[in-house]
Amino acid sequence: MPQESNPMRDRLTPLPPILDGDQAIDGMEEIFELIAAGLYSLASMLVGEGEQSARLVEEAISSAQVSPCADPQEARLSSRRSLSAAALELLAQRDPGSLAAPEGLAPATTCIDDDDLASAGISTEELASMIGGPERDRVRKWLESLPTWMRAVFVLRAVAGFTAAETAELLKLHGGPQATTWTPEAVREVFRQGLCSLASQLLRNRE
């Protein structure tokens, strides 16, 4: 089966130039620092800031077996997958059923027609600025206002860069017994609704 393409993966979460080969890397310390910083941001958006997010980062780097011989891009993706799985398990432990797929989910009338940022009128640069720049606190408050299952889908897709199929599989495997009914179609629909919510938030703040 051909793997679902995901053009958002590298556009939404671009590697810093040092990991793209534009600059030489002196040892693995710089790679660890860059990967760890990105992982902590991802973890904190999923489970909240603090000690638990820091522990998730340590475990992800360890379980992904990032080594001096590892390809930086592959190491980043592997560690993100490991962290996302552990974060979902933690969320399921905190509140069993919080990651269950919504029942009777049907395509809703939303402000966008597709599950990508462009359809929501948000550029990749704007999202990156919102996540890591002055708008960071506002974005996090918006994320915290979402139901756990919608927040998880949005972060896994928009921030971690997973495809709808990959996101559904992560939820099914690590979201607890009630999350086993997630499908790529459900992920796409939930992500569309999340994008519409974000677009509406942006419009309100621009008025």
Tens digit of each residue's pLDDT (9 = 90 or more) over 29-86: 676 677 788 899 899 999 998 899 999 998 988 876 655 555 667 778 888 999 999 9
Do 26 and 113 lie in one domain? The reply is no
- Model confidence at 22: pLDDT above 60: no
The residue to which tokens 């029942």 are assigned: 103
Is the four-CA dihedral 172, 181, 49, 196 of positive or negative sign?
positive
Residue 71: φ, ψ to 5°: -75, 130
Residue 172 lies in domain: 101-207
* Gap between the Cα atoms of 62 and 91, Å rounded: 21
CA 138-41-207 angle, to 5 degrees, is 20
Q: What is the pLDDT of residue 104?
A: 78
Q: Mean pLDDT over all residues of the chain?
A: 77
Question: Considering only CA atoms, which of 23, 56, 21, 52 is closest in space to residue 38?
Answer: 56
Average pLDDT of span 120-135: 66
Do 207 and 107 lie in one domain? The reply is yes
Q: What is the pLDDT of residue 151?
A: 95
Q: What is the pLDDT of residue 29?
A: 67
Q: Report the number of distinct structural domains present in the chain.
A: 2
Do 129 and 169 lie in one domain? The reply is yes
Do 107 and 207 lie in one domain? The reply is yes
Residues 6+ apart with CB under 8 A from 24: none
